[in-house]
Amino acid sequence: MSTRETASGSGAESDLDYDDLGLVAGLEIHQQLDTTTKLFCQCPTELREPEEADRTFTRYLHPTRSELGEIDEAALEESRVDREFEYLAYDSTCLVEEDDEPPHELDAEALETVLEIAQLMDMSPVDQAHVMRKIVVDGSNTSGFQRSTLIATDGEIETSEGAVGIEDLMLEEESAQRVEETDDGVRYSLDRLGIPLVEIGTKPDISTPEQALEAAERIGMLLRSTGKVKRGLGTIRQDVNVSIADGARVEIKGVQSLDDIDDIVRTEAARQRELVEIREELAERDASVGDVQDVTDVFEDTESGVIGGALNSGGAVMGVPLAGFDGIVGREIAPDRRLGTELSDHAKRHGAGGIFHTDELPAYGVTEDEVAALREAVGAGPDDAVAIVAADTDVAEAAIEAAAERAETALEGVPEETRGANDDGTTRYLRPLPGAARMYPETDVPPVEPDPSEVPEPELLTEKVERYQDEFDLGEGLAEQVAYGKHMPLFEDVVADGIDPTLAATTLESTLTELRRDDVPIEALTEAHIASVLQLVEAGELPNEGVPDLLTVLAEEPDQTAEEAAEDAGLGGADEAEVREAVVGVVERNEEQVAEEGMQAFSGLMGECMGALRGKADGDLVSQLLREEIQKRS
């Protein structure tokens, strides 16, 4: 059984009564917009490979006060770590991304797109939108802030479990892509920085994991209905806010896949319930957190690789006694994650590799004698636990303090915090919740007054599915594939240009998929390639059967036009005489069979004829001529 199944499928979790628990969840959906230029400059919104970078530069960031004189707690914690940020710049980025030129005015195309989205969610645009700076000092924005603008408030979407309110809609700039950790800090790529991003926040109206998933799906459908959002990995991200009645608001960042949302909510609700139970048990035991102590002496002759390694390089072992915590530090609060893992997450933020605690010791080379000596050194009894950190002295001190602080919080229950989604459906501590203090006005960009009166109302994808069935006679499955697929705008364009809808739909949804499976490099095909191939069919210059072959040729040599490729590859244009010659050849080679079976031989020979013509001829014509030739001979 995989970890993932543990997360979603274990009986205890799925049986939770969420009503009883007082589960409250909200979503924040971030979706990149497919605009021509970035939000605050005229650069294209295309992604690049790090190897294509032609310039690099390095910077540091320092936290600043908001206009109300406050410093954001999350920003402050982030900045305690002095890191150097390196940025990769491209021929497709400019000085605005490098924070070496003031931002240009807010992109009009992006504004129009988010107003369309606001309308789909029944939201009210603000009279005047003010661009704000949201302080982010992890280096992902060269400026040290993300520009974000509140565009609309107070909407609603439907789910089968009732309406979910939409709190607000923001138009923001996408952050720079993290490429890798370097020795001194982090390397970021500027290609993604500044791509317009819409953030949609729901009200905390969601009360079950299933409703969270449904609401996210609904919002995703509405976004894609505009036809103006980017598609593919990383272009949409979901954050989930979860709390239970006795718990606290926890913001979970970076849920990559929509399908994980219900699991994340389930696991988080269960984690909070466990933490509440731990709080009650600790209260019963009258538990407390003691003072941090240097326990290096205990491990002088240790066999433990981790501790020995730290001590050999001049480090220290710092410990903290946790009175009444015995057995609780090791208690599982989420699949394969214990209270100790939470303490460890906090210690890691300060540069330590993690913590050891007595609920898991002796282990990792730490002996029973050492555990006994450790307990004695910090004055811990049998009902108590001890947590230790081995690292450079400074790091060990900061890390054990952070772990002790987190243990202290366990006495109070669930801490409010920002967590990151792990691949297995669990989450890890990231940083404190950001506050309003991290927002201050972007004085370089004038406010804008959104004009909702000129915004078109797009057709919803759900409506498209029905229309494709009614109007174009597509089957429900194919209609859905097309409407929700990334080629939907292309489909509508070519059909409007007179291409047969069935041909367009099968080409876009089946043919391309089949070619990809056959390792044809279809990513080289542009929309113009596909459209012109379909035009050739429509004009009678290419048989339906020639479409896969022509697309293959174009994918391999994308510099050609469809007409050139068709001609070079000898596709299409086989006239009747040519076809008849091929058919006669096949019939003559199979003379005996035709004589014996007559028209029964048709289907076998049809395949052979098509093969001989290699997609150059229309199937109907081949079929007609083959019948005639068989007729003649039987």
63 part of the interface to another protein, by CB under 8 A: yes
Cα distance between residue 552 and residue 514, in whole Å: 11
54 part of the interface to another protein, by CB under 8 A: no
187 part of the interface to another protein, by CB under 8 A: no
Stretch that binds another protein, among 141-149, 273-281, 336-344, 479-487 (CB under 8 A): 141-149
Burial of 407 (0-12, 13-18, 19+ CB in 10 A): buried
Q: Considering the complex, what minimum distance in angstroms separates the CB of residue 24 from another protein?
A: 17
57 part of the interface to another protein, by CB under 8 A: yes
447 part of the interface to another protein, by CB under 8 A: yes
Return phi, psi of residue 463, to 5°.
-70, -35
148 part of the interface to another protein, by CB under 8 A: yes
Residue 125 or 458 with smaller CB distance to another protein: 125
The gap between the terminal CA atoms of the chain, to the nearest Å, is 64
CB atoms within 10 A of CB 350: 21
Stretch that binds another protein, among 28-36, 230-238, 438-446, 545-553 (CB under 8 A): 438-446
61 part of the interface to another protein, by CB under 8 A: yes
480 part of the interface to another protein, by CB under 8 A: no
Using CB under 8 A, count the residues that bind another protein. 54
> Strands 417-421 and 145-157: what pairing?
unpaired
135 part of the interface to another protein, by CB under 8 A: yes
Pick from 18, 40, 90, 145 the residue near another protein by CB under 8 A.
145
> Which residues pair with residue 441 across a beta bridge?
132
100 part of the interface to another protein, by CB under 8 A: yes
Residue 118 or 565 with smaller CB distance to another protein: 118
CB-CB contact of 140 with 75 (8 Å): no
Cα distance between residue 558 and residue 349, in whole Å: 49
The strand ranges marked E within 409-527 are 417-421, 427-431, 439-441
60 part of the interface to another protein, by CB under 8 A: yes
114 part of the interface to another protein, by CB under 8 A: no
Q: Distance of CA 136 to CAs 142, 144, 250, 252, Å?
A: 9, 5, 19, 17
Q: Considering the complex, what minimum distance in angstroms separates the CB of residue 455 from another protein?
A: 17
95 part of the interface to another protein, by CB under 8 A: yes
433 part of the interface to another protein, by CB under 8 A: no
Residue 172 or 417 with smaller CB distance to another protein: 172
Handedness of CA 116, 117, 123, 129 (dihedral sign): negative
Cα distance between residue 519 and residue 612, in whole Å: 24
Q: Considering the complex, what minimum distance in angstroms separates the CB of residue 463 from another protein?
A: 26
Q: Considering the complex, what minimum distance in angstroms separates the CB of residue 145 from another protein?
A: 7
Burial of 447 (0-12, 13-18, 19+ CB in 10 A): middle
440 part of the interface to another protein, by CB under 8 A: yes
Identify residue 543 by its one-letter amino acid code: P
170 part of the interface to another protein, by CB under 8 A: yes
Cα distance between residue 219 and residue 217, in whole Å: 5
Q: Distance of CA 269 to CAs 135, 209, 210, 262, Å?
A: 29, 9, 13, 11
Stretch that binds another protein, among 271-279, 310-318, 411-419, 440-448 (CB under 8 A): 440-448
CB atoms within 10 A of CB 516: 13
Cα distance between residue 5 and residue 25, in whole Å: 22
451 part of the interface to another protein, by CB under 8 A: no
Q: Distance of CA 276 to CAs 282, 333, 502, Å?
A: 10, 10, 57
Pick from 35, 111, 120, 144 the residue near another protein by CB under 8 A.
144
68 part of the interface to another protein, by CB under 8 A: yes
Residue 76 or 460 with smaller CB distance to another protein: 76
Contacts of 566 (CB under 8 A, 6+ apart): 536, 541, 542, 546, 550, 553, 572, 573
Residue 46 or 67 with smaller CB distance to another protein: 67
Return phi, psi of residue 334, to 5°.
-155, 160
Pick from 9, 47, 50, 59 the residue near another protein by CB under 8 A.
59
249 part of the interface to another protein, by CB under 8 A: no
Pick from 34, 99, 545, 618 the residue near another protein by CB under 8 A.
99
Residue 290 or 447 with smaller CB distance to another protein: 447
Two structure tokens written together for 34: 């497919």
81 part of the interface to another protein, by CB under 8 A: no
Return phi, psi of residue 609, to 5°.
-60, -45
Q: Considering the complex, what minimum distance in angstroms separates the CB of residue 73 from another protein?
A: 13
Residue 100 or 564 with smaller CB distance to another protein: 100
Residue 149 or 207 with smaller CB distance to another protein: 149
Return phi, psi of residue 243, to 5°.
-150, 155
Stretch that binds another protein, among 94-102, 212-220, 352-360, 551-559 (CB under 8 A): 94-102
Pick from 30, 38, 48, 133 the residue near another protein by CB under 8 A.
133
Contacts of 431 (CB under 8 A, 6+ apart): 74, 77, 78, 349, 417, 418
443 part of the interface to another protein, by CB under 8 A: yes
Q: Provide the binding-site residues for another protein, judged by CB under 8 A.
A: 57-69, 75, 79, 84, 95, 98-102, 124, 126-130, 132-135, 137, 142-145, 148-150, 153-154, 168, 170, 435-441, 443, 447, 449
